[in-house]
């Protein structure tokens, strides 16, 4: 099991490399630059800023630097190779594996990207936790009740609600809820900056809106899994042996029905934590998703790339956690060479 876990974690490294490379070249292929919004900066200052942050270097390799070393009489191949690879991409990849995501261009280097992520991500994490708890606590019981009361009004009500939850995007439901609360009930769910510092009521409403789609999907998947398992022979045998309905549902049906739910729960949890960009913007949450949107408008390359890599690592680790949890839920699943 430990060997399998180690192999799965090692596969995160190619994911980081691929996401870093794709994000890097997409950012630098986009028109504009990090200083375009600074209309008052003179060209000499922009040139100095480019030199300070290495934006004046070529993307791939730096043959001019190697040629300059050669002209100065340097014949050491290590020094020449070091000068040749002094480029934006290779320097950035080296920094990624040193856990250095570079400075934030918007702050003129006053704050590193990893410091910004550490400051902003807790808000997004708390929203994701509320959304995950809401999705699981409401979605699984809803699916169980719908399966046990198949083809009744309860089943139709659960199916209709889950279909609506999947169909309506979170930004639509968030805006509708925001308008309803503010106009009809004269209650504004927009909170001040100080209310996001702890783990208080400010996270409840946006967390529920964020988890609506996942809750609906979990409810439908739980219902489908329970209906399939309900018709199995061992369920009929358990009932014939006189086991109580609670024991049959809890110990036999639900445990086996959890396998497909866990399969989607890991990536869904990562999506809820990383996908709160629109919700944070609607409810004014000072999280990493909102900072990501702002960094795009500012062409803050390092923040965009660092956030994308951070989110990719979270999703990859969530998939690893899902694979490792299979054996805990179902003892029949074992790792074989």
Encode pLDDT of 187-227 as tens digits.
556 666 666 777 777 788 888 888 888 888 888 888 888 88
Query: In the prediction, which pLDDT does 336 show?
Result: 53
Topology of the domain comprising 120-329: MetI-like fold (1.10.3720)
The domain spans of the chain are: 54-100, 120-329
Percent of the chain with pLDDT over 90: 0
Distance separating alpha carbons of residues 94 and 205, to the nearest angstrom? 41
Encode pLDDT of 178-189 as tens digits.
777 766 665 556
- The answer to whether the pTM exceeds 0.85 is no
Mean model confidence pLDDT for the chain: 77
The total of other beta-carbon atoms located within 10 Å of residue 293's CB is 13
Query: In the prediction, which pLDDT does 185 show?
Result: 61
Look at residue 277 and tell me whether its pLDDT is greater than 80. no
Find the range with the poorest average confidence among 4-8, 123-127, 242-246: 242-246
Structure tokens at 117: 């992520």
Query: In the prediction, which pLDDT does 240 show?
Result: 73
Given pLDDT bands bounded at 50, 70 and 90, which one contains residue 119? confident
């Amino acid at each position: 099991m430990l060997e399998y876990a180690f192999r799965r974690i090692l596969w995160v490294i190619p994911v980081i490399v691929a996401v870093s490379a794709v994000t890097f070249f997409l950012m630098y292929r986009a028109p504009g630059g990090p200083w375009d919004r600074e209309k008052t900066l003179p060209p000499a200052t922009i040139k100095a800023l480019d030199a300070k942050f290495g934006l004046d270097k070529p993307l791939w390799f730096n043959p001019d630097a190697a040629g300059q070393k050669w002209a100065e009489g340097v014949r050491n191949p290590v020094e020449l190779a070091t000068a040749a690879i002094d480029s934006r991409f290779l320097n950035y990849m080296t920094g990624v594996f040193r856990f250095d995501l570079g400075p934030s261009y918007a702050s003129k280097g006053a704050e590193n990207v990893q410091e910004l992520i550490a400051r902003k991500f807790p808000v997004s994490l708390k929203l994701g936790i509320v959304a995950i708890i809401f999705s699981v606590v409401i979605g699984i019981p809803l699916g169980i009740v719908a399966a046990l009361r198949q083809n009744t009004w309860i089943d139709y009500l659960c199916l209709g609600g889950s279909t609506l939850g999947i169909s309506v995007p979170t930004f639509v439901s968030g805006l509708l809820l925001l308008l309803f609360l503010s106009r009809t009930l004269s209650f504004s769910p927009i909170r001040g900056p100080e209310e996001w510092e702890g783990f208080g009521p400010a996270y409840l409403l946006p967390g529920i809106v964020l988890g609506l789609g996942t809750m609906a999907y979990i409810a439908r998947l739980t219902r489908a899994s329970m209906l399939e398992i309900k018709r199995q022979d061992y369920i009929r045998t358990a009932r014939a042996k006189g086991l109580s309905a609670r024991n049959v549902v809890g110990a036999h049906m639900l445990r086996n029905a959890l396998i497909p739910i866990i399969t989607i729960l890991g990536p869904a949890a990562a999506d809820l934590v990383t996908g709160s960009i629109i919700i944070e913007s609607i409810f004014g949450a000072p999280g990493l998703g909102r900072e990501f949107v702002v960094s795009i408008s500012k062409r803050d390359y390092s923040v965009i790339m660092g956030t994308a890599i951070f989110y990719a690592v979270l999703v990859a680790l969530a998939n690893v956690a899902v694979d490792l949890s299979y054996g805990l839920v179902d003892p029949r699943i074992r790792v074989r060479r």
